[in-house]
């Protein structure tokens, strides 16, 4: 589906809602100040924890060209709306819209959409994309060039996206679990919680159970006949679940994903994980985990293979006074290669430094 320049300008005139923020909230963005400019792409940084694009933007009042630094989401989240590493290239002529920084002298903004002249409109927010498709009467499969979604026939197949039990969107996780049975050390971490301590800002990705609840894609498959494989977008450490004790390699050194063994109880996959390394925010947002962490997961399918569920019981006497059990859910999405993108410390701090004139 391609849009004419008239359609592009109509989209801009209608305006769009502000983007859903990712793992940190950038208070510098003015949610009431919408901007839209034409320009030329000068850089497209497809890296985690956030993708950035720089655009030489033409100021309509003066004709001046200003290079804006524009923040989007992480690569995996952008994939949900059809973005790919090759979506934008240096020299692309575009029209873009978003929310401006509160500082009028700072050339910085968040992104709602970008339209390549003579090409597609790419949205940052899934809601905005869905609203647009509904207005235009276009199906998601047609828009993204996808084949009809097929249900999973087993737990060891498919790509999955975080959801509620009924398939609706899972709300953002903004902070720690304050009602968990925490030790004094755990309570201290919750009391002193700050998003500035997020390990992702240092390109460190926590392991499970924190990683299980991430708003990213997961792929399930069989690495071989005895090994169940869980891949997560933007996380190099894949989880290998060893189903056969006779062929399992043994724990080895401690890692943040631990050592997992599993077996089936009927249609339920039961996974036990030990041998964890100490991990910042390894239990939940704002709550660390220790080498004593122990985890049991029970996975099953529902809704005729369109939903995947897990019950997680985690024990860690350093941070928890007793085990905690909670459930989590995913909805099946179209199959595609899981995104792995270089994590950039520059990108991690760009929301603080970009858009100012160099001294």
DSSP 100-135: EESSTTS-EEE-SEEEETTS-EEESSHHHHHHHHHH
d(CA 288, CA 204): 13
**DSSP sequence for 55-67:** EEEE-TTT--EEE
How far is 213 from 235, CA to CA, in rounded Å? 13
C-alpha–C-alpha distance, residues 300 and 204, integer Å: 30
Residue 21, pLDDT score? 36
Q: Which of 162, 108, 115, 124 is nearest to 19 (CA)?
A: 124
Long-range Cβ pairs for the range 65-68 (8 Å, 24+): 65/39, 66/107, 67/42, 67/107, 68/37, 68/39, 68/107, 68/108, 68/109, 68/355
List C-alpha distances in Å: 138 to 130, 132, 170, 230. 9, 8, 25, 33
Q: Please tell me the distance from the alpha carbon of residue 269 to that of residue 113, in angstroms, as a whole number.
A: 41
Q: Say which residues have a Cβ less than 8 Å from residue 134's Cβ, sequence separation at least 6.
A: none
C-alpha span between 108 and 102 (Å, rounded):
9
d(CA 233, CA 256): 16
Q: In this predicted model, what pLDDT tens digit does every residue of 122-169 receive, in sequence order?
A: 888 777 777 777 887 877 777 766 677 889 999 999 999 899 998 888
pLDDT, one tens digit per residue, over 277-314 is 999 999 999 999 999 999 999 999 999 999 999 999 99
CB 209 within 8 A of CB 312: yes
Q: Where are the alpha helices (DSSP H) in 176-266?
A: 184-191
pLDDT band per the 50, 70, 90 thresholds, residue 20: very low
Beta strand 268-274 with 279-284: parallel, antiparallel or unpaired?
A: unpaired
pLDDT of residue 146: 66
Q: Which pLDDT score is estimated for 18?
A: 32
DSSP string, 230-242: EEETTEEEEEEEE
In the chain, list all ranges with CATH 2.40.50.140. 5-147+342-353
The pLDDT assigned to 61 comes to 83
76-82-87 Cα angle (round to 5): 90
pLDDT category of residue 54 using cuts at 50, 70 and 90: very high
Collapsing DSSP to helix, strand or coil, 268 comes out as strand
The number of angstroms, rounded, from the C-alpha of 223 to the middle of its chain's C-alpha atoms is: 24
Q: How distant, in Å, are the alpha carbons of 46, 103, 177, 283, 331 from that of 180? A: 37, 40, 6, 11, 26
- CATH number corresponding to 5-147+342-353: 2.40.50.140
Nearby residues of 146 by Cβ (< 8 Å), 6 or more positions away: 140, 334
| Whole-structure pTM value | 0.69
Q: Is residue 351 over pLDDT 70?
A: no
At CA 171, angle to CA 168 and CA 175, rounded to 5?
160
């Amino acid at each position: 589906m391609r849009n004419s320049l008239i359609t592009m300008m109509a989209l801009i005139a209608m305006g769009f809602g502000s983007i859903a923020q990712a793992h940190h909230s950038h208070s510098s963005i003015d949610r009431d100040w919408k901007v839209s400019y034409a320009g030329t792409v000068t850089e497209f940084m497809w890296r985690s924890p956030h993708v950035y694009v720089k655009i030489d933007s033409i100021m309509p009042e003066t004709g001046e060209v200003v290079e804006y630094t524009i923040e989007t989401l992480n690569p995996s989240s952008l994939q949900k709306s059809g973005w790919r590493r090759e979506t934008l290239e240096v020299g692309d002529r575009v029209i873009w819209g978003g929310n401006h920084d509160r500082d009028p002298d700072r050339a910085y903004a968040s992104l709602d959409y970008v339209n390549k002249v003579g090409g597609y409109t790419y949205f940052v927010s899934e809601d905005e994309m869905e609203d647009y498709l509904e207005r235009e009467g276009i199906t998601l499969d047609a828009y993204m060039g996808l084949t009809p979604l097929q249900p999973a026939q087993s737990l060891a197949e498919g790509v999955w996206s975080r959801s509620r039990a009924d398939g609706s969107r899972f709300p953002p996780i903004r902070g720690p679990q304050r009602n968990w049975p925490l030790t004094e050390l755990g309570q201290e971490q919750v009391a002193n919680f700050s998003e500035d301590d997020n390990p992702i800002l240092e390109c460190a990705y926590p392991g499970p159970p924190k990683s299980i609840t991430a708003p990213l894609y997961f792929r399930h498959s069989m690495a071989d006949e005895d090994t169940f494989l869980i891949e997560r977008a933007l996380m190099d450490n894949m989880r290998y679940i060893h189903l056969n004790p006779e062929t399992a390699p043994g724990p080895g050194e401690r890692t943040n994903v631990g050592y997992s063994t599993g077996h089936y109880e009927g249609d339920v996959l039961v996974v036990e994980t030990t041998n964890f390394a100490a991990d910042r925010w390894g239990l939940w947002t704002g709550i660390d985990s220790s080498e004593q962490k122990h985890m049991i997961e029970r996975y099953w399918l529902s809704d005729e293979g369109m939903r995947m569920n897990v019950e997680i019981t985690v024990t860690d006497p350093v941070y928890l006074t007793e085990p905690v059990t909670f459930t989590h859910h995913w909805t099946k999405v179209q199959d595609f290669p899981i995104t792995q993108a270089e994590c950039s410390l520059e990108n991690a701090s760009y929301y603080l430094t970009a858009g100012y004139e160099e001294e």
